[in-house]
Structure 1
Amino acid sequence: MPAPPDLSSRVALVAGASRGVGRGVALALGEAGATVYVTGRTLKSQRRRDVPGNIDETASDVTRAGGRGVAVQTDHTRVEDVRALLSRIEADAGGLDLLVNAVWGGHEGPAAGGPFWEQPLARWDATMRSGVWAALLTSRFAAPLLRDGALVATVTFEDRGRYTGSVYDDVAQASLARLAFGMAQDLRPRGVTSVAVSPGFVRTERVLAAYGATERTWARVPALAGSESPRYVGRAVAALAADPTAFLRTGQTLLAADLAREVGVVDVDGTQPGPLRLPDGAAPPAHG
C-alpha cells in the first residue's frame, strides 16, 4: 500500500468531521501527519444513539493515526461560532494550509420523496443553510488565514450533470461546485487552490446502518459492491494537498475516484473503487 504523503508541517481544518466523509478526510490527513482541527456540533458527551460519531472521537483517532487532532465544537451555520474558530486557529497556528468543507445537512431528518412541490421546505433550509451557507461562511473567515500554496476542498456531488432526483439537493450540490469555482478566481492571485471534490458511493455510518452492515461485514452485502470507505476521498485530498502542481486544477470539480487513481492512492482495502454513476433520477448516497 502506498505510503501517505508527508503533511507533518501542515495545518488543516476539516469542517463537519464528526462522521461521514468529513471524518474520513480528517483521518487520512492524520495518516499524513497533519495537525487537523476537527469541527462539528457533536461532542462525545452529547452524542445520540440515532446519530453516530462526534468530534472528540475523530480528533483522538486523528492523533492515533499519526497526526494531531484538535476538536473544536462549532456550528458552521453560526457567524459567531465560525469567527471564534478561525480566531483560535490563527492564535494557535498562525495560518491554514488546508480547508475542507464537508458540512452537510441535506440528509438530516426522515427521507422525503416526491416532486419539489411536495417536499417540506425545511429540506431546502437543510441543504442550502447547512450545506452551501456553511461552506461559504467557513471559507469567508478562513480565507485571510490561507497561506501561499494552500488548498480549499469543498465536498459536493457531481455525475456528468445528471439530476440527483431532488430539486433541493440538486441545486445545493451544484451551488457547492460553483462556490468552489468562484472562490478559485478570487484566491488565484494568492496562489491558493480551490476545488470541489465529488466522492463516489461512500460507506458512511448512515449507509452502513441502512444495509445492516459494518466496515467489517460490508463486503458480504451485494448492494455495497464497488463502494468506498470515507478515508478513500480523504487520501485523495491529502495527496492533492501535497502535490506541488495542485494549482493547475484550481476551479475544477474533481471526481474523488479519478483523482485517487491519478495521484496513486488506494482505499483501506487496497482497491481503487471507480466513480459513482447515477441512473437518471437517482439520488446520490449521503455524504454525512
Structure 2
Amino acid sequence: MSAGYAVLDQRSVVAVAGEDRKAFLQGLVSNDVLRVTPDHAAYALFLTPQGKFLHDFTMIESGVESDAALLLDPETDRRADLLRRLKMYRLRSKIMLEDRADRLRVAVAFGEGALGALGLPAEPGSARPFAGGVAFTDPRLPGLGARLFLPADGVAALDAAGLARREVADYDRLRLSLGVPDGTRDLIPEKSIPLESRMDALNAISWDKGCYMGQELTARTKYRALIKKKLFPVTVDGTAPEAGTAVTLDGKEAGEVRSGHDGAALALLRLEDVQRAAETGLTFQAGSAMLTPHEPEWDPTTKG
C-alpha cells in the first residue's frame, strides 16, 4: 500500500501538566514515563491493582516550553473514565488534567514510505515536530507507521507531505494483518491480562522501572510463566464472526473472537489448542467460519 493517512476520531488527546506530571504518571502506568520526551514517545497501559487492563495510550511530551505537558491518546469514548481515575490518585501532586479533544486531533500515517515522508526513522517512538503538533514512529511497532497529534489545521500538512487521504478501515486492515490489538476492541476492561494480549512484545511494559499500578501481578505472570492464552491474528474463511463469538476446536471451547475486518481478525486462543491444531490438522471454528491462527512476526512464540 502506498503512503497515506487517516484521522482517528476514536482516539482523543488528554494532557497531564504541572511540575509533578512525570512522577505522578510514573507510579501509575506500565511504561517508563521518565524516558518520554519531545523526541521520544512511548506506549503504556493503565491497569487495575490486580494487573488487569483498563486503558491503553501512547504518550509524548509537548515540545512547546510554554505548554509543558504529557499528551496521551486514550479512546475517545473512554477518556472521561481515564481522567476520572487519574483524579482519584492525584492527592497532593502538583498536576493539572485537561481534555484537549477540542484542540488536537489524532492521525496515523501508514503504508510504504509514510515514515520517510514525515522525516521519521523506523525506530519505535522517534518523534519530531510537525505542522504545529508532533509526529512519532508508532512506539509499538514501526510497521504501523506514524502517529500524530495535530491541531485541526495541521491535518492539511499531511496532504502537502505527499500522503493520500485514506479511510480508517484501511489502517484497520493493516493493524489486523500485523496482529496488533486496539484498546477495548480487543482487550476487556478489568478482565484482560496484558501478557495474554502480547503487550510486552509491543513495548508497553518496562520491567525495570519500579512499582506502578498492577506491577506486582504483571511481573509474577511473566516470571512464573502463567500465560495459558494469547491473542493471535487469524484468517477467517466464511462469514465473519462478531466480536465475542466463541471459538471451538474439535467441539470444545478454545477461545474467543475479538476485532475483525475483511477476512482477518484477532482471537484469544488457548496455547495448548493452537499447538494441538498445528500437530493434528484440526480446524478452529467460530460460528460458521473457520479460523487459521498465525504467529505475529514481532512475537513468534506460543510459549507462556
TM-score by length of 1: 0.26
More strand by share: 2
More helix by share: 1
TM-score by length of 2: 0.25
Larger Rg: 2
